[in-house]
C-alpha cells in the first residue's frame, strides 16, 4: 500500500488543532487501508479475439463486456509461458518459470511449499479459496477452502478432489458446477467478517470444446471467413513449419470434431468416447440428436482438400464459441451475485485466461508459440468504488504482475523476490516515470504434444525477437507495426542489424534480471 501523504503544511498551535489533525489522519488512513475483496476468474485457452469487448467479428460476450465497460481493458496483456500449468505457476507466484521451477505440463510438479500470493494474503487476514482447475500436479496450499478437478477435468459429470483428498463426482456441466461452488463458498462458507480472495478457475474453453447441451444448436447458422494466413506456408520460419497443431493436418476428426461412427477410427477416438461416456442418458440423447445428422451429412458428402479444411474450421469455431457462451453466462452469474449482495463496490473483479489461442491464424489451433495470438491474453478488471480509472490501459503487462497487484491492493508488502510489477498505480490512473519497455518469454515443453520447439525471446511495443533452440538454432525478428500477423522473419537482413543488436542486449538484460540460466547454455534451461 502506498504511504499516506497528506500534503498539509501548517503549525500546531494547540490541543484542539492536534486532535483535529489526529482525527483527520486516522480517517484518511482507514480509507487508505480499506480491505478489498478479490474475485479472480481465469479460463483456459480463451483468446481475446473471441470476446466482443476486444473483437466484434465473431461473437457477443455481454457479461464479459460488463466487466470491461464498467472498468478497464488491458490492450497489451501477455503471459510469460503460454501453457496451462506454467502460466498458472507464474500467476500465483509472480515469478517466471525459471524462478518458480514449473516449466512444463509433462515433467513438472509444483513445489507447493513455495511462496504464493494466496499464502501472503492469508497472513494479512484474508480468507482464500480456489475452485475448479488447478493443473499443477501437487495439491493446493495457501487456501482456506479448495475443491479442484483432477488434471484437465471433464466437462460432463466431473470428478473433484476435495480438501479431505477424496475424489467425488458431481452431476452436471463443469462450467456451471464451478460457478455453483464459488457462489456457495462466498455465500455460505466464508467468514463474512474478513476480506476474501477467491480464484475461480474454469476448464473452459479448453480442447475438445464440449458444449453444454442447452447450447448445442447455437451458431450453426454462422459461417466464418478463413483467416488471411490460414494456408501459411511458413517460409523462413522452420520452427513454425515443424509444429503439429494444424487444423487441417492435426485436428482429430473424432476427438476434436465429434465425427464418431462405429466404422471410423482416429488416434484419439478412445479418449473422446471416455469423455462422452460420462454423460447420463438424457445428456447423451441430446448430444446424439444434435451430432447425428451432422455426422451423417459429413460422411455422405466426404469433403476433401480446401473444402475439408473449411469444414473443419467452421466446426471448430462453432464448438469453441458454444463453450464460450456457457462461460460468459456463468461470469454473469458471479457478477449478479456480487451485485445482489452489495459486494461490487468493495471488490476487484478480474477476468483473464491462462494464455491466448489460435483461431485458425497460421492454420492453427492451440497455443505455445511466442507469436501474438498465443502470448497475448485478455485481461479486464472491474474496479472497486473509489478507483476512477476507466477504459483502455495500453501499458505492457504480464501475468507475473497479478500477484504484486493483489498484494498491494490488500495492503500487504510485496516480497523483493517477486518479479512482477504491481498494476495498482495504473488502476489508480497514476503515471510512472519508468514504464516497462519490454517483456520476457520462455517456452520449454519439447518434445511433447504439438511439437513446438523450445524458445525464448523479448517483446517491445514494436519488435519481437525469438530464439528457437534445443534441436534447432533459429532466430526470428518481427516488426509488429508493419507485420502484425508475424509472417515475415526479418532476422538476417542487413538493415535490421542495429535493431537485432539492441534487442539482444535487452534480452540479455532480462535474462540476467530474472536469473534465467539458459543465458549460460541451452542445456541449462531447466535447473
- What phi and psi, each to the nearest 5 degrees, are found at residue 173? -100, 135
* 470, burial (CB in 10 Å: exposed 0-12, middle 13-18, buried 19+): middle
Residues 429 and 455 occupy one common structural domain: no
State the DSSP code for 525: S
Cell reading at 334? 458471479
Q: What pairs with residue 72 in β-bridges?
A: 381, 391
Number of domains observed in the structure of the chain = 3
Q: What is the mean pLDDT of the chain?
A: 94
Cell reading at 401? 504482475
Residues 331 and 202 occupy one common structural domain: yes
- Residue 256 pLDDT grade (very low, low, confident, very high; cuts 50, 70, 90): very high
**Model pLDDT for residues 211-240, shown as the tens digit of each residue:** 999 999 999 999 999 999 999 999 999 999
Residue 147: how many other CB atoms lie within 10 Å? 23
Assign 259 to helix, strand or coil: coil
Residues 462 and 389 occupy one common structural domain: no
- pLDDT in the model for residue 33: 55
- Residue 17 pLDDT grade (very low, low, confident, very high; cuts 50, 70, 90): very low
- Residue 27 pLDDT grade (very low, low, confident, very high; cuts 50, 70, 90): very low
Residues 88 and 157 occupy one common structural domain: yes
- Residue 34 pLDDT grade (very low, low, confident, very high; cuts 50, 70, 90): confident
Q: List Cβ neighbours of 365 (8 Å cut-off, separation of 6 or more).
A: 207, 245, 247, 251, 256, 316, 357, 358, 359
- What phi and psi, each to the nearest 5 degrees, are found at residue 213? -60, -30
401, 434, 467: which is the final residue of a domain? 434
Cell reading at 36? 478489498
Q: What range does the domain containing 91 cover?
A: 33-210+320-434
Residue 139: how many other CB atoms lie within 10 Å? 14
What CATH number is attached to the domain comprising 152? 3.40.720.10
Residue with cell 532466430: 475
The Cα 409–Cα 405 span in angstroms is: 6
Determine the average pLDDT of the residues in 376-381. Answer: 98
**Model pLDDT for residues 431-466, shown as the tens digit of each residue:** 777 789 999 999 999 999 999 999 999 999 999 999
Is residue 163 within 8 Å of residue 147, measured between CB atoms? yes
The Cα 215–Cα 58 span in angstroms is: 16
Residue 204 falls within a domain, yes or no?
Answer: yes
- Residue 22 pLDDT grade (very low, low, confident, very high; cuts 50, 70, 90): very low
Residues 96 and 202 occupy one common structural domain: yes
- Residue 177 pLDDT grade (very low, low, confident, very high; cuts 50, 70, 90): very high
Residue 352 falls within a domain, yes or no?
Answer: yes
**pLDDT for 23 beyond 80:** no
Residues 268 and 327 occupy one common structural domain: no
Residue 223 falls within a domain, yes or no?
Answer: no
State the DSSP code for 138: S
Is residue 154 within 8 Å of residue 278, measured between CB atoms? yes
Q: What pairs with residue 474 in β-bridges?
A: 468
The Cα 274–Cα 251 span in angstroms is: 18
Residue 9 falls within a domain, yes or no?
Answer: no
Cell reading at 207? 480442447
Amino acid at each position: 500500500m502506498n504511504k499516506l501523504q497528506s500534503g498539509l503544511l501548517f503549525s500546531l498551535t494547540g490541543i484542539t488543532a492536534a486532535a483535529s489533525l489526529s482525527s483527520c489522519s486516522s480517517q484518511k488512513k482507514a480509507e487508505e487501508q480499506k480491505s478489498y475483496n478479490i474475485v479472480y476468474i481465469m479460463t483456459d485457452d480463451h483468446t481475446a479475439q473471441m470476446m466482443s469487448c476486444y473483437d466484434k467479428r465473431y461473437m457477443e460476450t455481454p457479461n464479459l463486456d460488463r466487466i470491461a465497460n464498467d472498468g478497464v481493458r488491458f490492450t497489451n496483456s501477455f503471459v510469460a509461458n503460454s501453457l496451462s500449468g506454467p502460466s498458472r505457476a507464474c500467476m500465483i507466484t509472480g515469478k517466471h518459470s525459471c524462478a518458480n521451477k514449473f516449466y512444463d505440463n509433462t515433467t513438472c510438479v509444483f513445489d507447493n511449499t513455495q511462496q504464493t500470493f494466496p499464502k501472503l494474503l492469508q497472513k494479512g487476514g484474508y480468507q482464500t479459496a480456489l475452485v475448479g482447475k488447478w493443473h499443477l500436479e501437487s495439491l493446493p496450499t495457501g487456501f482456506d477452502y479448495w475443491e479442484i478437478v483432477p488434471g484437465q477435468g471433464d466437462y460432463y459429470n466431473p470428478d473433484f478432489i476435495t480438501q479431505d483428498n477424496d475424489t467425488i463426482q458431481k452431476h452436471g456441466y463443469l462450467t456451471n458446477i464451478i460457478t455453483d461452488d464459488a457462489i456457495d463458498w462466498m455465500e455460505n462458507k466464508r467468514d463474512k467478517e474478513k476480506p476474501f480472495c477467491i480464484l475461480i478457475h474454469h476448464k473452459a474453453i479448453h480442447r475438445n470444446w464440449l458444449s453444454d447441451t442447452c447450447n448445442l444448436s447455437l451458431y450453426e447458422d454462422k459461417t466464418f471467413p478463413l483467416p488471411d494466413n490460414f494456408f501459411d506456408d511458413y517460409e523462413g520460419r522452420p520452427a513454425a513449419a515443424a509444429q503439429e497443431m494444424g487444423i487441417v493436418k492435426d485436428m482429430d476428426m473424432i476427438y476434436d470434431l465429434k465425427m464418431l461412427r462405429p466404422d471410423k477410427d482416429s488416434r484419439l477416438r478412445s479418449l473422446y468416447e471416455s469423455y462422452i461416456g460420462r454423460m447420463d442418458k438424457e445428456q447423451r440423447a441430446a448430444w446424439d440428436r444434435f451430432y447425428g445428422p451432422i455426422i451423417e451429412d459429413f460422411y455422405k458428402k466426404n469433403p476433401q482438400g480446401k473444402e475439408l479444411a473449411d469444414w473443419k474450421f467452421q466446426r471448430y469455431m462453432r464448438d469453441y464459441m458454444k463453450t464460450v457462451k456457457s462461460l460468459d453466462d456463468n461470469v454473469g452469474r458471479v457478477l449478479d451475485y456480487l451485485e445482489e449482495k452489495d459486494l461490487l463496490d468493495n471488490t476487484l473483479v478480474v477476468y483473464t485466461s491462462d494464455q491466448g489461442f489460435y483461431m485458425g491464424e497460421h492454420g492453427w489451433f492451440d497455443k505455445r508459440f511466442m507469436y501474438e495470438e498465443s502470448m497475448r491474453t485478455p485481461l479486464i478488471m472491474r474496479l472497486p468504488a473509489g478507483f476512477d480509472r476507466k477504459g483502455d490501459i495500453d501499458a505492457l503487462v504480464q501475468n507475473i504482475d497479478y500477484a504484486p497487484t493483489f498484494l498491494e491492493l490488500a495492503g500487504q508488502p510485496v516480497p523483493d523476490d517477486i518479479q512482477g510489477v504491481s498494476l495498482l498505480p495504473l488502476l489508480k490512473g497514476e503515471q510512472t516515470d519508468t514504464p516497462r519497455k519490454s517483456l520476457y518469454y520462455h517456452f520449454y515443453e519439447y518434445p511433447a504434444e504439438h511439437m513446438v520447439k523450445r524458445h525464448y525471446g523479448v517483446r517491445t511495443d514494436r519488435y519481437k525477437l525469438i530464439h528457437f533452440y534445443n534441436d534447432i538454432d533459429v532466430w526470428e525478428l518481427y516488426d509488429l507495426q508493419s507485420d502484425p500477423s508475424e509472417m515475415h522473419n526479418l532476422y538476417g537482413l542487413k538493415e535490421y542489424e542495429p535493431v537485432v543488436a539492441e534487442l539482444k542486449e535487452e534480452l540479455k538484460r532480462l535474462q540476467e534480471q530474472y536469473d534465467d540460466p539458459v543465458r549460460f547454455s541451452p542445456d541449462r534451461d531447466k535447473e
